[in-house]
Structure 1
Amino acid sequence: MLRTDWSRRLAALAAAVAVLAIALLIRALADGPLEQHSGTALYASMIYAGVFFLWPRATPLVAGTVAIAFCWLVELSQLTGVPAYLSERSLLARLALGVAYDPLDMLWYPVGVLPLVAVHLLLRRQRATA
């Protein structure tokens, strides 16, 4: 079982790196709403992968719920001004926490997670029937 957990963690890490590469590519090539909204959705996708890195035995539905809830909490925390303060002092904080609340982001987080949950459930179902 321990070996399976590590292989799941490595797969989650690889997925997060792939999503980050896609996000950076879009950022380099696009501008405006595509850059903004795709970045938001891909951030949520990375959080989904991160849940599996930290908790490899999570189910897709639980991981999706945790990822969306985490993203929403980070977004709502921007209403306090703390992320903006930290973002002024750290690029890492800016990338992880953002700067300003955007209610539209609350809709884009599920866009980044729900397709992954659906694909993950389909793959699990196929594996179970094989």
Structure 2
Amino acid sequence: MAAAIALASVIVAGLAVHAFLPDTSATDIAGDALYAVAAYSGIVLLAPRLKPWVVALIAGAWCVAVELFQLTGIPLALGGLLPPVMLLLGTVFDARDLVIYIAAVVTAGLIDAAVRRPGKLDE
């Protein structure tokens, strides 16, 4: 239940950042971090028994794969046909996003580990 609430909250926050705030570096970074946390939360929702470090690894791999997929130009083309696709696949590659994704999933994993078993961050 907590993962579902986290995922819904992160999605709402991400959509709010996208819709209501000006397009700046700060909102881009916030959106990237929220995207990564949404990926993390979605994996926890689908596989709640996975250890936080495994979830972080999978979420990080997903985010990196999506970012690298943008190098093909396919997400940009699909986004032109169906704009909501841009929210899932992005549009153009930005190496800075890779750093933000990894930082966000590591942070989410540390928080998750602390919440699941206080005092046991090494799971």
TM range (shorter): 0.7 to 0.9
Q: Which has the larger radius of gyration?
A: 1
Match of 2:74 among 69, 82, 89: 82
1:45 paired with 2:44, answer no
Q: Within 5 Å, which residues of 2 pair with 1:36-115?
A: 36-115=28-107
Supply the RMSD in Å over aligned alpha carbons: 1.7
Gaps of 5+ in 1: 1-9
Q: Within 5 Å, which residues of 2 pair with 1:27-42?
A: 27=18, 28-42=20-34
Distance 1:86 1:21, change over 3 A: same
Query: What is the percent sequence identity of the aligned residues?
Result: 34
Distance 1:118 1:99, change over 3 A: same
Partners of 2:116 and 2:3 lie apart in 1 by 15
Partners of 1:22 and 1:84 lie apart in 2 by 23
2:39 partner amino acid: I
| TM-fit CA distance, 1:53 | 1.6
Partners of 2:52 and 2:107 lie apart in 1 by 11
1:108 partner amino acid: I
Partners of 1:119 and 1:98 lie apart in 2 by 26
More helix per residue: 1
Gaps of 5+ in 2: none
The SS at the match of 1:65 is helix
Partners of 1:30 and 1:114 lie apart in 2 by 27
After TM superposition, the score normalised by the length of structure 2 is 0.87
